[in-house]
Structure 1
Amino acid sequence: PGMDGIEAGRRIKKNSSAKTIPTVVMVTAYGREEIMRQAENAGLDGFLIKPVNQSVLFNTIMEVLGRGASRESRPFAAEATRADATATIRGARLLVAEDNEINQQVAREILESAGFVVDIANNGREAIEKAISNSYDAVLMDIQMPEMDGLQATAELRRDARFADLPIIAMTAHAMATDREQSLDAGMNDHVNKPIDPEALFAVLVRWIQPRDSKTAVEAGPPAANATERPEPSPRVVADLPGIDLAAGLRRVAGNEALHRKLLLDFHRDFAASVDSLRTAINESRTADAERQAHTLKGVAGAIGAMDLHRAADELDSALRQDDMERVETLLAVVASELNVVINGLEPLARQARAKRAEADAAPTGPAGDVDRPAIEAAVRELAALIRKNNPDAENALERLRDVLKGTRSKEVDRVALALDSFDFRGASEALSALAEAEKIPLTFGD
């Protein structure tokens, strides 16, 4: 209040009577491009985006004091806009180890929209297998996962000399200092909090991924245009979704409104009964399972923008970890209330989605008779290849398939289109498989 940080920093720089002008680093919760530009124009030396961890703080201090990477190679303390900050590492191949599907989709969208190549592992064991079979520039590792958690997976990877220098970055909804220390003790390099803040994530990736040469960066290509040029969300929609901060949710998925809508529908489908499941785990003294469920609910709620539910689940998670069962009972009721607000608020969206599915099911269908069979098979395989890679160009390929089908198989085509409209590539693969089977076109999505 009174004077913002940018103006205060500018005056300090301009009016300092000291022989050595002090170094000024701005710390803010906002990573907006215009704020960064204003800070740089005011002559400030660095820019940090909250939450700030020890590694990012240390490296930034070293840089602005001239003891880290050169300012020429990493201007403005390495915290430029997303496109600038990730330019030297664009095209890097990343492994995301995360067991929750909604969190997987959020991470994939954030990273692919910035030009990274992303693989997904569903647990720690699978992450180890993928790391052995493939070459990655960095691993983003969730802490709490089934079969093998992120700490165990990291420790096992570090025992293999091949992965001694592989950057492994913890992703967790736990923000306590002890959790960060556990991550570092297990061999992780750094830590990002969930729900993921895109700018904070990019800052950490820039610090740990080896920059690529200019030729490689150019070949990797720019971030996808459709992911970086989406319009700002309409405030009118926010009022229609009680319990959801639409702006926060959209920011988590780099502004992708279609994907955010799908995540909301997935949440409505997958988490409506989460309090019942939590209560059962607590009543059966399965405390570890209850902690995992509360942790997952907290992270996913934050990812979709259900911030009141996120905070309530965070408190419940903390009470469970402290074995404060009296407080758990109280907080479980709060979580149930907040979840009810979100689920009821999403019901109109769910009804609308069900109506669209029913409309697609009612569409006429039939075999492709007097048509170009080789063209149909080629179009199906082209579309399958794009869906397999979660490539948004699948929508264009679907239109080419629709053209060669000449009005036949409209029911199956509409099902594929409905899935792609929601960025539901798994659903699209299932719908396309049904179409291919009906047309007797051999098709396998597992290869």
Structure 2
Amino acid sequence: MQDNPRQSIFVLIVEGDPLEAEHLQKMTRALGWQSSLVNDGSELVQECIKHHDNSSCSPDALLVSSHMPSMDGLSVIRSLARHIGREHLPAVLMISAYDSDTIIEQDTERLVDRVLRRPLNAYVLFNAVNDVVTNRTGDFNRVLQATSTEVIKAKWLPNTHLLVVDDSATNLAVVSYILKHNGAKLQTANGGEEALTILEDPNNDFDAVLMDVQMPGIDGLEATRLIRKRLHLTTLPIIALTAGTLGEEKDQALEAGMSDFLTKPIDPSTLITLLRLYIKVYRGKDIPIESLHLSISEPPSPDAQQTTSEQDRWPAIVELNIDKAKNMLLGDKSLFLETLENLLIEYTNLSMPPQIDIDDAGHADLRLQIASQVHKLRSVSGMVGAERVQQLASEAEEIVRTESQSAKKVLMNLSLALQALQNASKEALDLWKEEKHVASTSAVDVMAPSLKLETVESILILLAEQDLSALDEVDEHSASLREALGNERFQQFQRSLARLDYKQAIAFLEPLIKRLGDT
């Protein structure tokens, strides 16, 4: 991602109630903003005059309580406007428990930009401050770049339409999960050819494309050139996904017409921030965030905390940086274990000692195949916190691509690291599989409604379009699908969905069309 120096947002809080004042300041600071407290209108006027006269940093926004002991909030803002001039008034957000309509009616001078209702939570505060500061400054990015987005439990990309292009099923699954979790509507493609076909369809109107750079066939660079020149989508944001760290690779991405780049493994917060920035410019409007579950201002009950803690307790695996994995995978333990298992299965060949003659001149093609594999392994190993494997995969890729260097030693070290990871992970993966088996066995006993033909047809259409809304449809009708397919085939069907293997998933469902059509 290109460097964007983080600017701070300064919020001045005017609140006479000490507990409410402390709550608001904690919330603003958790968001990464600077904030100061004043207790009443006279202090606010003095503080703003001081900033105005000294040409120091003026507040970006005022959070003003509508009711204070000596003067109501609207009178406070009127007094401030008289002292410093309306043109110097920061964005004003009035906080009220119940009388928002009254405040709007009484604000005949239109000094208040937004009225917020108590109780206030983080995502509402972010949306409001983002809106009013954007309206004042015309800068879509001002508040977002100053915000610690990870502290807000919210959907950051609601109603956006994104295309994710990657030939790695694991990368597709993880990136898709992050985006879907944040409210985006997704389609996926396994390569450049497929991406071009999807984008050629005039019915598809995407807000942005995430494009892997290194893919077989038409790679990400060539696909981007064709999107710009042949499809004439000259302003559509295309973000490069690259496991490489070389400046040359990033320069090539930008020269090919890509808008920006992200280095794998993808940090969720960085991904969301970059997409919001480009989509806002592309669409010419901001993206309001939507509540996900609880905000930082609404802690769960002790009972809920205990239950969640028991369900989400992550295994301790000596070969892994679990904290890094939690960040990369949004704290989803099931996604972590699924990704870890897929890594160990997909790269089984790399856990074996390399061929004795791997460095012979006649094995140039084999070295290229291995280079492609370790390139993908760099990304996936980073997602699960396998830092030793990630480091060795990075070294191996560079060495294997250089014909003059011996690759045998680094590939041997990589195989030993993968074996160590497999041994360290065995107990946790076995326990997870057993828990899944118990859960699926219990689910069989639940009475399920009859599966309808139109339900299967709807899911098949979504799968054919590689639309991740299919996963929501499957979740909604999981009991009926399990009964129709049988427990074993349903589990196989779910595994194909987890890998985003659409063709295999379709193969599981298609026989149901004839069966249901005959009933």
TM-score by length of 2: 0.59
Cα pair 2:264 2:379 within 8 Å, conserved: yes
Q: Kindly tell me the number of residue pairs found equivalent between the two proteins.
A: 376
**Relative to 1, partners in 2 of residues 1:34 and 1:112: Cα closer, same or farther, differing over 3 Å?**
farther
Any idea what the Cα deviations from partners look like across 1:240-278, whole Å, max 9, x if unmatched?
A: x23222232232222222222211222222122234497
Cα pair 1:315 1:331 within 8 Å, conserved: yes
Structure 2 residue 509 is matched with structure 1 residue 441: no
RMSD over equivalenced CA pairs, Å: 4.8
**Relative to 1, partners in 2 of residues 1:289 and 1:232: Cα closer, same or farther, differing over 3 Å?**
farther
Counterparts of 1:353 and 1:136, CA distance in 2? 37
- Determine helix, strand or coil for the equivalent of 1:315: helix
Structure 2 residue 378 is matched with structure 1 residue 311: no
Counterparts of 2:270 and 2:310, CA distance in 1? 22
**In the alignment, residue 248 of structure 1 is paired with which amino acid?**
K
One of 137, 153, 159 as aligned partner of 1:70? 137
Structure 2 residue 410 is matched with structure 1 residue 331: yes
Cα pair 2:192 2:223 within 8 Å, conserved: yes
Structure with higher Rg: it is: 2
Cα pair 2:140 2:277 within 8 Å, conserved: no
Tell me the equivalent position of 1:378: 452
Counterparts of 2:401 and 2:153, CA distance in 1? 37
Tell me the equivalent position of 1:299: 379
- Determine helix, strand or coil for the equivalent of 1:209: helix
Q: C-alpha displacement at 1:323, in angstroms?
A: 4.0
Tell me the equivalent position of 1:398: 478
Q: C-alpha displacement at 1:398, in angstroms?
A: 2.5
Any idea what the Cα deviations from partners look like across 1:18-46, whole Å, max 9, x if unmatched?
A: xxxxxxxxxxxxxxx99763453488999
TM-score by length of 1: 0.68
**Relative to 1, partners in 2 of residues 1:132 and 1:423: Cα closer, same or farther, differing over 3 Å?**
closer
Tell me the equivalent position of 1:174: 244
Counterparts of 2:457 and 2:323, CA distance in 1? 32
Cα pair 2:153 2:293 within 8 Å, conserved: no
Counterparts of 1:267 and 1:275, CA distance in 2? 11
Structure 2 residue 166 is matched with structure 1 residue 98: yes
- Determine helix, strand or coil for the equivalent of 2:210: strand
Structure-to-structure mapping, 1:397-436, within 5 angstroms: 397-399=477-479, 401=480, 409=483, 412-413=486-487, 416=490, 424=498, 430=505, 433=508
Counterparts of 1:110 and 1:248, CA distance in 2? 15
Cα pair 1:141 1:168 within 8 Å, conserved: yes
Any idea what the Cα deviations from partners look like across 1:111-157, whole Å, max 9, x if unmatched?
A: 11111111111011111111112221111111111112111111222
Moved more, 142-151 or 377-386: 377-386
What is the percent sequence identity of the aligned residues? Answer: 20
Counterparts of 1:170 and 1:125, CA distance in 2? 16
Structure 2 residue 214 is matched with structure 1 residue 140: no
Counterparts of 1:44 and 1:320, CA distance in 2? 56
- Determine helix, strand or coil for the equivalent of 2:137: coil
Tell me the equivalent position of 1:49: none
Tell me the equivalent position of 2:369: 289
Structure-to-structure mapping, 1:117-128, within 5 angstroms: 117-128=185-196
Structure-to-structure mapping, 1:182-261, within 5 angstroms: 182-210=252-280, 222=290, 225=293, 237-239=314-316, 241-261=317-337
Cα pair 2:341 2:429 within 8 Å, conserved: yes
Tell me the equivalent position of 1:341: 420
- Determine helix, strand or coil for the equivalent of 2:271: helix
Counterparts of 2:425 and 2:443, CA distance in 1? 30
Tell me the equivalent position of 1:271: 347
Cα pair 2:154 2:293 within 8 Å, conserved: no
Q: C-alpha displacement at 1:225, in angstroms?
A: 4.6
